[in-house]
Structure 1
């Protein structure tokens, strides 16, 4: 599959005129010409352009970035970087089968937690900046499928603490929530995953049924402080008396608002568990 220069420019952020100038000055990239004499780019060429764009963002001059990419083919990169480049390359041309194949190869060669923390989650965080909507949907769906399968395959202790995981209403990015559930399950927690776009009424029903000790909410969607206050206030009331811990970039911007409604904030699984232990210790002392 090949792509036209207009598509390459849109996906990489490199203007068509710039790509043509690089071709004249540096001999990079080297597109083919189709029957209509339009420039078309192969998957490997698309990936090399993306690598150059990334190096420029990191501060390299154009000539240095192009030289580095030309001197280090994808096959000579460290294994994890090769997998990342192959994944992005497949997604760029909307080859879902190849992208999923790459994720499968990575899973077979890595332990579960490094696979999640050093490959899947960084890919998920980067795609909003790298991809258009169609490609982001394709890529995020593949990664969420992997995370969900890992979560369902894990065992938890039958007497472990219970946690309910959800994204608040109108928040649909559940990748981080799935990774959190996986980590907690591997620590022995019993996980009830409600997932994306969960209204307060659903949180209340779930808490009434399973009586969790902790409710973790992932807020990725950006909201104004007042909107977030209303959403979290409803969630805290719906989940009482369980501790509510919130994470994600949508909450990080409004910590004062978050604390004002009685919720806590955590960046990592370890911080979340520590907050639960503190709350449990305080309750036992009381």
Structure 2
């Protein structure tokens, strides 16, 4: 069974930790256990419960009324919410629940159903990326089993590759972006999503993949002279030093502009070399891609 912290619940549900604590005191749907050092932790069932309750609460149901509902009624009420954004959030929550339960067939079935109804493009932007944004924090904190991560990311990787292969733009942008991930970074999903976004806008992409020595990146960059190099950092090996990587990049490849996105950029507080730019959110990434035109 997975054990989740109150911070995990906050990140996944959007409900602030202090609100979760108040709900615990006043209502019955959350009963965390505690470690020997008196730190709260929550079960898989409690995670699934808070996801559903937070969704109902966000779209108009009072928490005191939700507390009186049985789980089946909560699920039924969620299905009746007509708001399109709410339904997208419901799908994302279902993916999270199937992941923590390791119901991989159901996980893929949810994606396939959405693809059939909305197409690969909308599935990537409306469901897959919001799912990755929510779940990325669990990958960083090791609060899910690596087996869960591998099974889920391989499915998503397949869907993204299908989307990339089918991506087409009638407009061709005369810009080239080289995509890579440094040594120690194996989480390819975020970079594949960027590949999809760039290709769908008509940008030429050179995709080098994951876990690359900087000398290989330098060789291709000098040979192909892309307009930008781009990397996405989600969760790297323990011996990876972000500051050292940025310094080495600037020293070896400083003539090439590097754009960095991903969770690690949000935690980096030191000075960034002149040749490097951080994109701290999806809107920032989208603005960068739009500015290439």
TM range, normalised to the smaller chain? 0.5 to 0.7
Secondary structure, counterpart of 2:206 in structure 1: strand
2:49: which partner in 1? Answer: 52
Partners of 2:99 and 2:3 lie apart in 1 by: 14
Q: CA deviation at 1:197?
A: 1.8
Q: Check the 8 A contact 2:185/2:237 in 1, yes or no.
A: no
Secondary structure, counterpart of 1:160 in structure 2: strand
1:233: which partner in 2? Answer: 247
Structure 2: unaligned runs, 5 residues or longer: 9-23, 31-42
Secondary structure, counterpart of 2:174 in structure 1: coil
Q: CA deviation at 1:71?
A: 4.0
Q: Check the 8 A contact 1:164/1:191 in 2, yes or no.
A: yes
Change (3 A) 1:255 1:153: farther
Identify the match of residue 138 of structure 1 among 132, 151, 156.
151
Structure 1: unaligned runs, 5 residues or longer: 1-6, 15-21, 30-45, 278-286
1:121: which partner in 2? Answer: 129
Point out the more displaced range, 170-179 or 74-83: 74-83
Q: CA deviation at 1:189?
A: 0.6
Partners of 2:91 and 2:265 lie apart in 1 by: 32
Q: Check the 8 A contact 1:214/1:243 in 2, yes or no.
A: yes
| TM-score, normalization by structure 1 | 0.67
Structure 1 residue 245 corresponds to structure 2 residue 259: yes
Secondary structure, counterpart of 1:132 in structure 2: coil
Change (3 A) 1:119 1:47: farther
What does 1:205-284 correspond to in 2, within 5 Å? 205-221=219-235, 227-254=241-268, 256-258=270-272, 260-266=273-279, 267=281, 268-273=284-289
How many residues of Structure 1 are paired with residues of Structure 2 in the alignment?
A: 242
Partners of 2:136 and 2:259 lie apart in 1 by: 25
Q: CA deviation at 1:120?
A: 0.4
Q: Of the two, which has the highest radius of gyration?
A: 1
